[in-house]
Structure 1
Amino acid sequence: MIWKNETIRREFVLLGLSSDPKTQVALFIVFTSAYIIILIGNFLIIVLVLTDASLHTPMYFFLSNLSFLDLCFSTTTIPRTLKDLLSVNKVISYGECVAQMYIGQSLGLCECALLAVMAYDRYVAICFPLHYTIIISKMVCIRLAVVTWMSGFLLCVFLVTLTFNVDLCGHNKINHFLCEVTEVLSLGCRNIILVELFIFIACLIFLLIPVTFIVTSYVNII
């Protein structure tokens, strides 16, 4: 990705949530409190599932995966946001922007897929209790978890590559508190409607499949 008619830049400027100092302090307190709660809550869930043998079941295995996802996602976004809230210089390097976008988007997609897997697990447990341990075996759980993680990260390679292949013009200011696909694309030189449409369709398909699966599973349960 380069800026046309200019020296190649290697950084972006995040405009953040607010330029008002008092608002920034208030947001810093809120985000810090939320981050601490997220860390403690999810960490306790993971430790409890690992240490309590009675919780070594598919449901809690997927729940611990979800907790780990939440830990990773919040750590990808919140610490950087906290730093920017207390900083005048909100510059983010090109590499850090790519990494933040890739990891954040990947974890979001993984979470959608994992929620669908958890819905399927509950569907089998309730509708086919006698066959539950056969259908959702330990090996099946591991495979479902692996597919869940891989699907999000593999799809995001494609999305981030498309985003950062767009040539930029003018300023390098991102009107957001983190590197987000649509905001980076808005800096594009030419009409990037086709790129945006392609990314939108890809994300929509990936999101609709888990949502459809979740709704179908719970409708059958009811």
Structure 2
Amino acid sequence: MLHGRDAEALARETDALTADGASVSSAAFDVTEEDAVEHGVARVLERVGAIDVLVNNAGVQSRAPFTEFPTAEWHRLVATNLTSAFLVSRAVARGMQQRGRGKIIHIGSVQFMLGRPGITPYAATKGGIAMLTRGMCADLGPSGIQVNAIAPGYFATDLTAPLVADPDFSDWVERRTPAGRWGRVDELIGAAVFLSSRASDFVNGQVLTVDGGMTAVV
């Protein structure tokens, strides 16, 4: 089941995956709005039945010096990066509790433990994701639910394209990362599969960092 708030983009991705032979459904709703989440999750449950694995992957970035950071942008980052994970997880976890099993995976960032100039609000939301993960583990673990997070390092994506194209920043990433390069999106797949599978049944409340070694060195 794919989710997004851009119905046209969602339809394109659904068609592409279907063409590759996957069985795919989709649902479009705004994960930052409580009513939209409650109704959206209810519709998903009606269409596909129980949700066994939830991946919370909504996220945005905004850069500005701390003293000039717009309040509206702060609220947008918190709503998209953190509140959405709370709202969707709460709606989905109810059914998981009833069944006594389920996997919830948040997508965080190495910024939950590393700060950089100009992205303080973003880092704060990712710190919130780390503690949301641990708090949900405490609440939901007794019901047989595992809640973990993946914290990517610097990956080449549409969102980071301007940074990848910046020679100075790319040079910094490559020098700062023991792997010596930006990550590839497909290198996150293994972590997601592990945390979605029975192999992680005794892994709970953890933040799995996938960063080419960046957070392991100084």
Normalised by the length of structure 2, the TM-score is 0.26
Greater gyration radius: 1
Normalised by the length of structure 1, the TM-score is 0.26
Q: Which has the higher strand share?
A: 2
Report which structure shows greater RCO (CA 8 Å, sep ≥6): 1
